[in-house]
Structure formats: C-alpha cells, structure tokens
Amino acid sequence: NAGVTQTPKFQVLKTGQSMTLQCAQDMNHEYMSWYRQDPGMGLRLIHYSVGAGITDQGEVPNGYNVSRSTTEDFPLRLLSAAPSQTSVYFCASSWASRGEKLFFGSGTQLSVL
Amino acid sequence: GENVEQHPSTLSVQEGDSAVIKCTYSDSASNYFPWYKQELGKRPQLIIDIRSNVGEKKDQRIAVTLNKTAKHFSLHITETQPEDSAVYFCAASPMGRSGNQFYFGTGTSLTVIP
C-alpha cells in the first residue's frame, strides 16, 4: 500500500513551457485534490475531484487544468507555466464522506524561470 | 467561502513548556477541524482532529478545543519536546459542500528550544 504517490519531486521549467504533475493513490479514495503551498500562505486548494469524471475548482484554479479518468489518478496540468506558479504542490486524497482525514503525497517542488 | 485565520505565525517555547496555537473560522457550516504537522521538507501529517459535536479532544500531550459559538479552535501541546518543532496548520471543512473542501490556516512555525 503506497498511499499517495506524486511525481516528479523536483521540476524546473521555463516560462511558457507545459508539464503535468502526476498523482496516484491506491486506497480507493473517491476524493482527490491539489494544493499549492507558498511561504506565509498556507495550503491553498487548486482543484479537486469527488470521483472519476467529476472535477471542480478550488480557491486558486487559474493556470491549471485537471482531469479524473480513473479513481486512482488525478494529474495536474500547467499549460503555460508562469513564474507565479513557482511553489510546492501537494496532492491529497480521502474518502468521500465529509470529515475524513486527508492523506498527502510527498510534494513537488516546482520552479518556473 | 470559508476563511481560516491562524495565530501566531511563529512561536518559540522552552522545552517542557506548553504551546498554544489558535485559529478562527468564518463559515458556521464547518463541522470538521483537523490539525496537521509539517516537518521541514516533508508532507503534512494529521496529528489530531475534532468534530463540531465535541468541545475538546485529547491525545497524550496534544489537545484541541473547539468553541462553535465564537468560531474558534485551538491546539495545545504540553511538555513540549524538540521533536515538536515543525509548522502546524489548522483547517476547517464545511458541511454541505460537494466533497471535502478543506480551508487551511497560514501555519505556525513552532520552535522548541532545548
């Protein structure tokens, strides 16, 4: 049982490049989400999904796309990276019912030059 | 949407002393309040949580209190140890939304001085 697996751990992009951050969980969680963590800002929700084929926007969705084709995977896409997207990104999952513990991935440190 | 404020942003205590971190929330529909600990370079880990039908919960040296009327909740760490040094985040999760939308505070960096 690997839990929540995120790749890559580190990534450097040039402005305008695109990339996909991968997230997979093997706990059969219905709920998956992406957060970004910036100094002094806490964890801010980017996008989330309550099941395959269902996604919705969080607090800071601009510049990011997501899809949920399977229960296990929830990739985050940056279509045209900007320096403002330099951050640490965490994927997290939980069971769908409200009031459930979030399981976090190990994070991706992204730098956009 | 929900707004969670957390104070203080930094906290230094002597080993053995107590530490208290406070959070307020704005959405009366929030009914689940977890606390996460994040060590440097690591992922956040849940350390304790409380639901809105409970006023206090304790787990060894860690306790959380909730005042629904005032919309605030607090983390209490007693007999602090150097390994308690980390960033602590509070969060609130409103009822009635689709899925678990967690709104996090901005974090408290706790340093325990040996």
Distance CA B80, CA B114 (A): 10
Tens-level pLDDT at each residue, chain A (113 residues): 679 999 999 999 999 999 999 999 999 998 899 999 998 888 999 999 988 999 999 889 999 999 999 999 999 999 999 999 999 999 999 886 666 789 999 999 999 99
B97 pLDDT exceeds 70?
no
Residue with tokens 């490049």: A17
pLDDT of residue A101: 85
Structure tokens at B35: 């606390």
pLDDT at A92: 95
pLDDT single digits (tens) B25-82: 998 888 899 999 999 989 999 999 998 888 999 999 999 999 999 999 999 999 999 9
Residue type, A94: S
pLDDT value of position A96: 65
B14 pLDDT exceeds 60? yes
For residue B43, give the nearest of A31, A98, A107 by CB distance: A107
| Residue B95 clears pLDDT 80, i.e. is over it | no
Preceding omega of B8 cis (within 30 degrees of 0): yes
**pLDDT the model gives residue B96:** 55
B98, pLDDT greater than 60:
no
pLDDT of residue A39: 85
Reduce the DSSP state of residue B71 to 3 states and report it: coil
Write down the pLDDT at residue B102.
Answer: 87
The pair of structure tokens assigned to B28 is 């009366």
pLDDT at A100: 78
Count residue pairs from A and B with Cβ separation < 8 A: 70
Which pLDDT belongs to residue B52? 83
pLDDT of residue A77: 97
In angstroms, rounded to a whole number, what is the distance separating the alpha carbons of residues A28 and B8? 37
Using the Cβ of B45 and the Cβ atoms of chain A, whether some distance falls under 8 Å is answered with yes
Q: What is the CA radius of gyration of chain B?
A: 14
- The beta-carbon neighbor of B106 closest among A41, A49, A99 is A41
Distance from CA of A85 to the nearest CA of B (A): 18
- Cα distance from N-terminal residue to C-terminal residue, chain A: 36
Average pLDDT over residues B90-99: 73
Q: Which of B4, B43, B99 sits opposite A96 (nearest CB)?
A: B99
